[in-house]
């Protein structure tokens, strides 16, 4: 067998390799193994990347194995290169992103994330109206009621687990309402979601979550097909792209990805934000004294808490800073360094609620820039605003574990207290 075929085979069959497979075109001096993804207890958990822009090459190879890929990935660390990765869709594809469905033998793509331009635009056109600032404003009263209902429940206790009993719950309620899924399904949705995103790559658990959610969607779709309503799931089932109805696979792929995309991201952002406020009371006081700063504070919290480093599949051989990148390689946009690049942000490690321009990558960029960005911002603003309005200053409960696990897991539990 020619060596190229062996190489191709190895990179897609993790079981063949004990060591991560490193393609032959990777210069050994560009191989790095950063440890930023280890749990830490720092007040600013993302400060672990301080100095990384100076010590790491602007593009390096990380031989990190992930489920389904035995080889590693190129990583770009600087703001301008990350922007190129997001924007240059002639070079980079999202094909295969969030491919959880393959674990249960299904082959449709996640929509819109795994569809490249120009086809991608037709799905965004269908979905955009549901996520516009105007649509989000129409949801605001419901979001506020959901959030206040949760605060009513724990306010008299003088304490709550703000990650588990608040941040984990409200995005799911908002999402069920947006889609028109029955609220009684809340616990099951939470259970499936947790199995998919928090199983530490345990394939059996991920399969359980994926099959549960898909099974439910397949029961739900005929119901809404028979009885349309004004909710998003019905908009997808009865929607059209290019003048035709969506296929069954397109409907499932769209609903499933919306569900994956919109829950943990908001939950993890909430937990990290409250953790920082509990550990740094002067930040909390500044927002209590100036609630008008909350929208900018949310943007700044998102900048300093980049949860996801997006990856792309390379479509054509090309070079980045003279380094040869080949078709079939992967490139990761290292938002955890790009959001702190001094070429874009003054004093990047400082948490400032008055940044004149804050074009961070926490919601990605280019054609796949987060569809739910307006909704996410509104949810976070209301959650923070109502919590600060209704509780006295809070702090971490004595003895609470302050460990942050980077990535979406973030802080699963965060007990805070405000009683004296």
Binding site for ligand HEM (CB under 6 A): 94, 97, 112-113, 124, 175, 257-258, 261-262, 265-266, 269, 307-308, 310, 362-364, 368, 370-372, 375-376
Q: Nearest approach, Cβ of 118 to ligand HEM (angstroms)?
A: 13
Min separation Cβ 5 and ligand HEM, Å: 30
Determine contact, residues 331/311, Cβ cutoff 8 Å: yes
Cα–Cα distances (Å) from 125 to 236, 237, 246, in that order, read 12, 15, 13
- The residue among 113 and 237 lying less far from ligand HEM, judged by its C-beta, is 113
Closer to ligand HEM by CB, 254 or 284: give it. 254
Nearer to ligand HEM, 251 or 417 (CB): 251
The distance of closest approach from Cβ of residue 117 to ligand HEM in the complex, given in angstroms and rounded to an integer, is 10
Count of other CB atoms within 10 angstroms of residue 63: 17
Q: How far is the CB of 307 from ligand HEM (least distance, A)?
A: 5
Instruction: Provide φ and ψ at 24, rounded to 5°.
Output: -65, -20
CB-closest chain residue to ligand HEM = 372
Q: Which is nearer to ligand HEM, 284 or 339 (CB)?
A: 339
SS3 (DSSP) at 147: helix
Q: Which is nearer to ligand HEM, 302 or 417 (CB)?
A: 302
179, two tokens: 């889609």
**Closest CB to ligand HEM among 309 and 417?**
309
CA distance 123 to 239: 10
Query: H or E segment at 128?
Result: helix 119-131
Sign for the pseudo-dihedral over CA of 85, 89, 93, 94: positive
Query: Which helix (H) or strand (E) is 217 found in, with range?
Result: helix 203-226
- Least distance between ligand HEM and beta carbon 328 (Å): 18
Rounded to whole angstroms, the Cα distance separating 238 from 236 reads 5
Judge whether 60 and 76 are in contact, CB under 8 Å. no
End-to-end CA distance of the chain: 73
Contact 333, 310 (CB under 8 A): yes
Residues 6+ apart with CB under 8 A from 199: 205, 206, 209
Of 21 and 220, CB closest to ligand HEM: 220
Could you tell me the smallest distance in angstroms from the CB atom of residue 46 to ligand HEM? Answer: 13
Rounded distance between C-alpha atoms, residue 407 and residue 216, angstroms: 27
Residue whose tokens read 């995103």: 197
Beta partners for residue 59, in sequence order: 76
Least Cβ distance, residue 275 to ligand HEM (angstroms): 15
Q: How far is the CB of 27 from ligand HEM (least distance, A)?
A: 27
Closest CA to 394 of 281, 300, 291, 260: 281
- 338 vs 415, beta carbon nearer ligand HEM: 338
**In the complex, minimum distance from the CB of residue 302 to ligand HEM, in angstroms, rounded to a whole number:** 6
Residue (21 or 406) nearer to ligand HEM, CB: 406
C-alpha triplet 7, 11, 15: angle, nearest 5°: 115
The span from the CA of 73 to the CA of 23, in Å, is 10
User: Which CB atom, from 8 or from 93, has the smaller least distance to ligand HEM?
Assistant: 93
The Cα–Cα gap between 284 and 358 comes to 21
Least distance in angstroms from the C-beta of 265 to ligand HEM: 3
């Amino acid at each position: 067998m020619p060596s190229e075929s062996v190489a191709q085979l190895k990179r897609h069959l993790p079981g063949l390799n004990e060591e991560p497979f490193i393609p032959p075109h990777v210069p050994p001096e560009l191989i790095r193994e950063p440890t930023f993804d280890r749990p830490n207890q720092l007040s600013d958990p993302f400060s672990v990347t301080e100095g990384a822009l100076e010590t790491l090459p602007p593009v390096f190879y990380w031989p990190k194995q992930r489920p389904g890929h035995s080889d590693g990935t190129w990583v770009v660390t600087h703001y301008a290169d990350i922007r190129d990765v997001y924007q240059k869709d002639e070079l980079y594809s999202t094909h295969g992103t969030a491919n959880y469905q393959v674990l249960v033998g299904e082959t449709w793509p996640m929509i819109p994330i795994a569809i490249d331009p120009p086809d991608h635009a037709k799905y965004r056109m269908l979905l955009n109206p549901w996520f516009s600032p105007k649509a989000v404003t129409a949801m605001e009263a419901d979001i506020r009621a959901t959030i206040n209902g949760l605060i009513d429940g724990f306010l008299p206790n003088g304490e709550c687990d703000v990650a588990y009993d608040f941040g984990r719950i409200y995005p799911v309620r908002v999402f069920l309402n947006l889609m028109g899924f029955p609220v009684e399904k809340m616990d099951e949705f939470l259970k499936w979601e947790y199995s998919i995103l928090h199983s530490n790559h345990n394939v059996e658990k991920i399969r359980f979550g994926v099959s549960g959610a898909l099974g439910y969607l397949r029961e739900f779709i005929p119901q809404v097909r028979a009885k349309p309503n004004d909710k998003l799931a019905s908009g997808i089932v009865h929607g059209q792209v290019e003048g035709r109805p969506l296929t069954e696979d397109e409907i499932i792929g769209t609903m499933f990805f919306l569900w994956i995309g919109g829950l943990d991201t908001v939950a993890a952002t909430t937990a990290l934000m409250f953790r920082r406020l509990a550990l740094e009371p002067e930040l909390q006081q500044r927002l209590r004294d100036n609630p008008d700063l909350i929208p900018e504070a949310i943007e700044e919290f998102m900048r300093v808490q980049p949860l996801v480093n997006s990856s792309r599949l390379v479509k054509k051989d090309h070079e980045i800073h003279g380094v040869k990148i080949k078709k079939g390689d992967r490139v990761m946009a290292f938002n955890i360094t790009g959001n702190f690049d001094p070429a874009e942000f003054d004093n990047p490690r400082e948490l400032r609620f008055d940044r004149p321009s804050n074009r961070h990558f926490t919601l990605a960029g280019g054609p796949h820039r987060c569809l739910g960005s307006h909704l996410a911002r509104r949810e976070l603003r209301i959650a923070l605003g109502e919590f600060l309005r209704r509780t006295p200053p809070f702090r971490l409960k004595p003895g609470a574990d302050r460990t942050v696990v980077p990535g979406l897991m973030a802080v699963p539990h965060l007990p805070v207290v405000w009683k004296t």
